[in-house]
Amino acid sequence: MPFETIFLDAGGVLVWPNWTRVRDALRAHSIEIDPGALAAADPVVRKSLDDAGMIAAAADQRRSWNYFELVLTNAGVTLSPAAEAALASVHDYQRTSNIWEHVPDFVPPALQTLRSRGHKLVVVSNSNGTVRESFRRLGLAGLVDLVVDSAEEGFQKPDRRLFDVALERAGAQAETTLHAGDFYFIDVVGARAAGLTPVLVDQGGLYPEADCARIRSIAELPDLIGRL
């Protein structure tokens, strides 16, 4: 199937938390942790939060707070008052600047390859209104055609309305649009509800049972598209 438009989630697909910044926040409260240990805990924690009931019951911003707490505990940090104070500073930064500011080396080349093949690239993200400015700051804005941020629209994935808004703004058709995201019950379920073809970005290889195409990173997406 020829895909004209590619929708991409932001966190866990194009950008990751700046674990060095999180380490520094913890260090300011006399807690030492290797940023690599936080990064290693990340995919496991995201999988633990990928639950249909949990997603239906909690807004994305509340899941974000739980996510960072779980990453810390999975990396061996006790949730002491000092750790909670450090997390509060992380969330302050997230509200104003977006802590999801690490761009892996494979991201820009993958985006450039997709665009060179004629695909329109649209970021469709559950976020807090900071994605567009964050992408400008990170040098990603020029590599995508459009950013749709849930906080600006008033609804979140898996609500199909966010995908519908993105389709309308991109001038795209659902049947020729693919969406790649890292949460099954947010990205895959939402994309299917909107009539899009879903691809699950399964960084840790934790979804062997998934009933959709899977990739470890978007570095694999250009080749996958040719096989779908």
C-alpha span between 184 and 210 (Å, rounded): 8
- Which pLDDT value is given to residue 61? 52
Assign 3-class secondary structure to the chain.
Answer: CCCCEEEECCECCCEECCHHHHHHHHHCCCCCCCHHHHHHHHHHHHHHHCCHHHHHHCCHHHHHHHHHHHHHHHCCCCCCHHHHHHHHHHHHHHHHCCCCCECCCCHHHHHHHHHHCCCEEEEEECCCCCHHHHHHHHCCHHHCCEEEEHHHHCCCCCCHHHHHHHHHHHCCCHHHEEEEECCHHHHHHHHHHCCCEEEEECCCCCCCCCCCEEECCHHHHHHHHCCC
Which are the contacts of 78, defined by CB distance < 8 A and separation ≥ 6? none
Q: How many residues does the chain have?
A: 228
Q: Which residue has the higher pLDDT, 3 or 63?
A: 3
Q: What confidence category does residue 59 fall into, taking pLDDT thresholds of 50, 70 and 90?
A: low
Is it the case that residue 65 has pLDDT exceeding 70?
Answer: no
For tokens 């290889």, name the residue. 205
- Which pLDDT value is given to residue 175? 97
- Which pLDDT value is given to residue 226? 86
Q: What confidence category does residue 228 fall into, taking pLDDT thresholds of 50, 70 and 90?
A: confident
Q: What is the mean pLDDT of residues 209-213?
A: 96
Share of the chain above pLDDT 70, in %: 96
Q: Which of 223, 226, 227, 222 has its CA nearest to residue 112?
A: 222
Q: What is the pLDDT of residues 7-35, one digit of tens each?
A: 999 999 999 999 999 999 999 999 999 99
Residue 114: φ, ψ to 5°: -60, -45
Parse the chain into domains and list their residue ranges.
5-14+101-225, 19-96
Q: What is the pLDDT of residues 86-113, one digit of tens each?
A: 999 999 999 999 999 999 999 999 999 9
Q: What is the pLDDT of residues 128-184, one digit of tens each?
A: 999 999 999 999 999 999 999 999 999 999 999 999 999 999 999 999 999 999 999
- Which pLDDT value is given to residue 116? 96
Beta bridge partners of 195: none
What homologous superfamily does CATH list for 5-14+101-225?
Answer: HAD superfamily/HAD-like (3.40.50.1000)
